[in-house]
Amino acid sequence: MGITITAEHSAAEVRAAQGPKIARKASMNDRFLRACRRETVDCTPVWLMRQAGRYMVEYRKLREKYTILEIIKTPELAVEVTMQPINAFDLDAAIIFADILPPLEAMGLSLEFIRGEGPVIHNPLRIAADVDALKVPDPRESLSFTMEAIRQTQRELDGRVPLIGFSGAPFTLASYAIEGGATRSFVLTKSLIYNQPEAWHDLMDKLATMVGDYLKAQAEAGAQVLQLFDSWAGALSPADYRRYVLPYSQRALQVAQSSGVPVIHFGTGTSGMLELIKEAGGDVIGVDWRVNLADAWDRLGEDVAIQGNLDPVALFAPIPELERHVTNILAQAGGRPGHIFNLGHGILPQTPVEHVAALVAMVHELSRR
């Protein structure tokens, strides 16, 4: 990162130019980092979104004793869960165990994970005054448990594979903050956009600041790659995405990238606006299975890497059928530099664990250069 440091630069800019403070050990397995930078690899790297979770017996056992928020907020437990899939499978990256929603709690919302129901925000945002009351705290303090979990995980990993830090994107976080939980129609979120556009822009401004800073803080703590999850971006028309979301994701991604590590920009249902997702930013674009990977790459161009895009339900297929899916995806990637194999969305709790092991081995074998 070549900027000349002068008195006009802020401390943060100077830090960014010098790279993160924590010296990172080079990973022994660097094929994931190489693919993020579109360099040649010995075989295609693979990791799975939500790779730590309920499909693993080790995770379910720990969840009998602790709530998800207790695990996230206790660095020792977060490290243990982060390592579970790394110890069980030949994955090429670890992702820190956390969730996209704790930053909303840090901003003043009351978050609870209810068993069998998912996340609930007890005081959702409905009017401009609710947005005004939101805080934008320093994530290094308000989310220090995740920074500490990253530092401890790096010690535990000891260079085995690179570690990913992540955040929800402003739009996806806004939808939880406004709806108070999961939604199919996004009727409250879109109603706020259309009826109270000023409140919407104020909210997105605060979220973009929080998200960018949170991602950067994770890189400073030792995360080697960052992923922005805009899981629900596909709920918007391309025109609304451009007007109401793109500038805020772009700002958060720019701040994340100023830390000097590769950034993955992921969304689902985005095949109608891949060009806009790229315009918002990211070194790697994550796509789901609703788009053919070759078509996605033709549209995005060769100057980005691509992550994806197996249907998570393909893991429920018999091995030969699973292998056909994997072969197809690798053929669509066509040996282009910069393919990172992943699911198109998070792994499902009922997934047969033997199929996860088979998938990882298959990706490595079938893509061996």
Q: What number of CA atoms fall less than 13 Å from residue 212's CA on the CB side?
A: 20
DSSP string, 107-147: TT--EEEETTTEEEESS---SHHHHHH-----HHHHTHHHH
* CB 177 to ligand CP3: min, Å: 12
* CB 14 to ligand CP3: min, Å: 31
- Tell me which stretch binds ligand CP3 (CB under 6 A): 97-105, 123-131, 270-278, 289-297: 97-105
Binding residue for ligand CP3, selected from 200, 229, 244, 297, defined by CB under 6 A? 229
> Per CB under 6 A, which of residues 150..189 are in contact with ligand CP3?
166, 182
27 touches ligand CP3 (CB under 6 A): no
CB atoms within 10 A of CB 179: 20
Q: Where are the alpha helices (DSSP H) in the chain?
A: 11-18, 31-36, 57-65, 68-73, 75-88, 102-106, 128-133, 139-142, 144-157, 170-179, 187-195, 197-221, 238-240, 246-257, 274-280, 293-300, 319-333, 353-366
- Tell me which stretch binds ligand CP3 (CB under 6 A): 111-119, 202-210, 312-320, 336-344: 111-119
Q: List beta partners, residue 228.
A: 167, 265
208: CB partners within 8 A, 6+ apart? 170, 248, 249, 251, 252
* CB 331 to ligand CP3: min, Å: 26
Binding mask 284-323 for ligand CP3 (x = CB under 6 A): ----------------------------------------
CB atoms within 10 A of CB 355: 18
Residue 87, preceding bond cis, omega within 30 degrees?
no
Binding residue for ligand CP3, selected from 16, 46, 52, 280, defined by CB under 6 A? 52
- Tell me which stretch binds ligand CP3 (CB under 6 A): 22-30, 46-54, 204-212, 245-253: 46-54
- Look up residue 332 and give its two tokens: 């669509």
| Residue positions annotated with a catalytic role | 50, 54, 63, 99, 176
Report the amino acid identity of residue 243.
R
Residue nearest to ligand CP3 (CB): 231
54 touches ligand CP3 (CB under 6 A): yes
* CB 9 to ligand CP3: min, Å: 33
- Tell me which stretch binds ligand CP3 (CB under 6 A): 93-101, 203-211, 248-256, 326-334: 93-101
Instruction: Find the length of the chain.
Output: 369
Q: Give the C-alpha separation, 342 to 293, whole Å.
A: 12
Using the minimum distance from each CB to ligand CP3, give the nearer residue, 80 or 99: 99
Count of residues interacting with ligand CP3 (CB under 6 A) = 23
Binding residue for ligand CP3, selected from 27, 51, 153, 258, defined by CB under 6 A? 51
Residues that bind ligand CP3 (CB under 6 A): 49-54, 63, 68, 95, 97-101, 113, 118-119, 166, 182, 229, 231, 345-346
